[in-house]
Amino acid sequence: MTEQRRGEIALMYVRARVRDKGIRFGTNLRREIANEAHNLEIGIAEAAEFASLLVEELTKETLIDLDRIRTEEKLSLRDPEE
């Protein structure tokens, strides 16, 4: 298995885990990011950028799902005679 493929699988795993468990950032966001960066042996800026991109991506997905739900609800509430 190539490094690239392992990275793709790891990212899919992280996305699935975040979707399932959610993201909880406490009041010490910088410290949490720094601790995880240290554990992963990567830079703090790189860890923060990854977290930011992941949160942005999953937030967009959530907003799209919510918009779809609202649209479906509006359609189901329409007067059938319209």
Considering the domain boundaries, does residue 14 fall inside one?
Answer: yes
- Distance (Å, rounded) from C-alpha 51 to C-alpha 72? 31
E-state strands within the chain = none
Count of domains for the chain: 1
27 assigned to some structural domain: yes
Q: Considering the domain boundaries, does residue 35 fall inside one?
A: yes
pTM listed for this prediction: 0.74
Residue with tokens 């554990």: 39
Asked whether the beta carbons of 54 and 15 are under 8 A apart, the reply is yes
Residue 23 lies in a domain: yes
Q: What is the pLDDT of residue 73?
A: 81
Asked whether residue 82 is assigned to any structural domain, the reply reads no
Q: Domain of 24? A: 3-77
pLDDT tens sequence for the chain (82 residues) = 999 999 999 999 999 998 888 887 778 889 999 999 999 999 999 999 999 999 999 999 999 999 999 888 877 776 666 5
